[in-house]
Amino acid sequence: MQITSAMKMVSAAKLRRAQDAIIRMRPYSQKLQEVLSNVTASLGDGVDSGNYGKQREIKRVLIVAISSNRGLCGAFNNNVIKESRAILAKYEGQEVKVLSLGKKASDYFRKFPVAYSEGFGSAPYKVFDGLSYAGSSAIAEEVMRQFVSGKWDKVYLIYNQFRNAAVQVVQREQFLPVAPPVADGAAKADYIFEPGKEEILKDLIPRSLKIQFFKALLDSQAAEHGARMTAMHKATDNANELRKELSLTYNKARQAAITKEILEIVGGAEALKG
């Protein structure tokens, strides 16, 4: 109980920092998507997503499974693995690989031939050792490069989205190919574009992909600490209940032993009287 209580406090401290990070990231991500939608709307039907929007026949699929490096966080990792296996079943018979960002997912999928890390180093899950945009961007760029080269026809992101300390929702997002953002009619703001709308769009799409990837990692990190804090809180409560039950059992056993000794003394005294 003391161990789980200490782990709960550690996770609560880490959750605060991770929660602040994802809360700061979301407005920027949303604003970037808003600008992208606005530029797309102003371009009309002639929108070109470049190499990142190429729709090809689905023969090769990459799953980026984002889990944690440590356990004791409830169903956090199992949910990611379960969702990844659902995609594997969906594309059964085709070439499907899993890039694991997180030691728990890596330990699970490396038992199967679907594990993949070519071009990402020997341990891509180390991205969580001091998570930064630079580290995330390097992995996102390699995923994007492999998609553009034709190695993959579709790329999925599987991760737990942080809602609050008690709620984490597993997400399945199509990372690539990217479709042009859906614009609601005309542009919502009157911008002056320099050097031009098409050039800005070509820069915004890869930038938006990298932000989307980094946001998924931040979401997963915050969700992990929330899940672990909740799991350790429940474990502490269960240990407290168990301690109460054990104390009651021990007290009953002690009282029974005392009663037995008293009866033996009384019985011996009565025998001596006889």
Catalytic residue numbers read 73
**Cα–Cα distance, 211 to 172 (Å, whole number):** 16
Residue 83 CB neighbour total at 10 angstroms: 19
Instruction: Read off φ and ψ for residue 79, nearest 5 degrees.
Output: -65, -40
Task: Give the angle 247-252-256 at the CA atoms, nearest 5°.
Answer: 150
**Cα–Cα distance, 129 to 236 (Å, whole number):** 28
Three-state SS for 189-202 is: CCCCCCCCHHHHHH
- Which residue type is seen at 49? S
- Which residue type is seen at 67? S
Mind giving me the DSSP string for 244-266?
HHHHHHHHHHHHHHHHHHHHHHH
What is the β-pairing status of strands 154-164 and 167-176?
A: antiparallel
